Amino acid sequence: MTNASAPWYVYMVVCSDRTIYTGITLDVQKRIAEHNNGAIGAKYTRSRRPVSLAYQEELPDRSSASSREYQLKKLSRQQKLQLISTVTIK
């Protein structure tokens, strides 16, 4: 069972074909590994491996993360690239 108070994350990865995939998760590093290695990764990224983390944002709950994911998915590619360029991934 997941901790109800654990933060959720919205993230963007850049795929091998230079497309950008956006998703939500409780554990960003685990999710990136799933995208790159397992059958658990999103169907979209399976044929576009490897993916690399380009952006992540912490949110207080799943609802907030889903809302933010929806907002990000509506952005143009150029707007996504601009957002990605403003952050440094650790």
Q: Model confidence over 33-81: pLDDT tens digits?
A: 999 997 788 899 999 999 999 999 999 999 999 999 999 999 999 999 9
Please check the confidence at residue 89 and state whether its pLDDT lies above 90: no
How does residue 25 score in pLDDT terms, banded at 50, 70 and 90?
A: very high
How does residue 29 score in pLDDT terms, banded at 50, 70 and 90?
A: very high
User: At 89, phi and psi to the nearest 5?
Assistant: -85, 130
Q: Are 12 and 45 in contact (CB under 8 A)?
A: no
CA atoms within 13 A on the CB side of 2: 10
Q: Are 31 and 65 in contact (CB under 8 A)?
A: no
What dotted CATH number matches 8-85?
3.40.1440.10
Listed by start position, the domains of the chain span: 8-85
